[in-house]
Amino acid sequence: MTHIQTQSTWLSDEELRLARERLPVVYVDAVPVRVDEQGRITAIGLLLRARPDGSISRAVVSGRVWYGERIRSALLRHLEKDLGPLALPKLPVTVAPFTIVEYFPDPTVSGFHDPRQHAVGLAYVVPIEGDCRPAHDVLDLTWLSPAEATSPEVRAEMTGGQDRLVVMALAYTGESV
């Protein structure tokens, strides 16, 4: 029986550029939240990170799904990468996203924008119970109340439709904003 290698290294920068020109790329988007004992959202974790164009913006946890990688594994990998190994995320029992977001190079297509590519984001609300320490390329992590996270001032700090994703996550969980 022939063994098929499914866990390989990711594409080189040039291979990724070429793939982005031809194929949609699958992402996971995770809105990290703190919840009270009744499961109501008390805070939303927004990252502060540098964008490829050099600007700084607030964002949710997001990243590519690797070839051969399960969605659950991709979520855990990106949450740990951005929030640190002690974040203790509580993933949903099923891996069904609360929504699917389509990012396009043209910002007028869907309202979700990624100038590099057409990407499909599977979006999740993920309760975080542990101690978060921004890691990897994250400059900072701020926990904001739902009202603060959806305020015009904070929404103006988010790009690519990430502000809309936060509002959609709150609506999905029944939180009023």
Which amino acid is located at 17 in the chain?
A: R
**How wide is the angle at C-alpha 18 spanned by C-alphas 17 and 21, nearest 5°?**
90
Rounded CA-CA distance 101/104 in Å is 10
Q: Domain 21-172, what architecture? A: Alpha-Beta Complex (3.90)
The per-residue pLDDT for 54 is 80
Which amino acid is located at 66 in the chain?
A: W
Per-residue pLDDT of 110-169, as tens digits, reads 999 999 899 999 999 999 999 999 887 899 999 999 999 999 999 999 999 999 999 999
Per-residue pLDDT of 56-102, as tens digits, reads 999 999 999 998 999 999 999 999 999 999 999 999 889 999 999 99
pTM: 0.89
- Closest to 121 (Cα-Cα) out of 129, 130, 111, 133: 111
Task: Judge whether residue 8 has pLDDT over 60.
Answer: no
Which has the higher per-residue pLDDT, 21 or 83? 83
Q: Where are the domains of the chain?
A: 21-172
- Closest to 87 (Cα-Cα) out of 99, 98, 78: 78
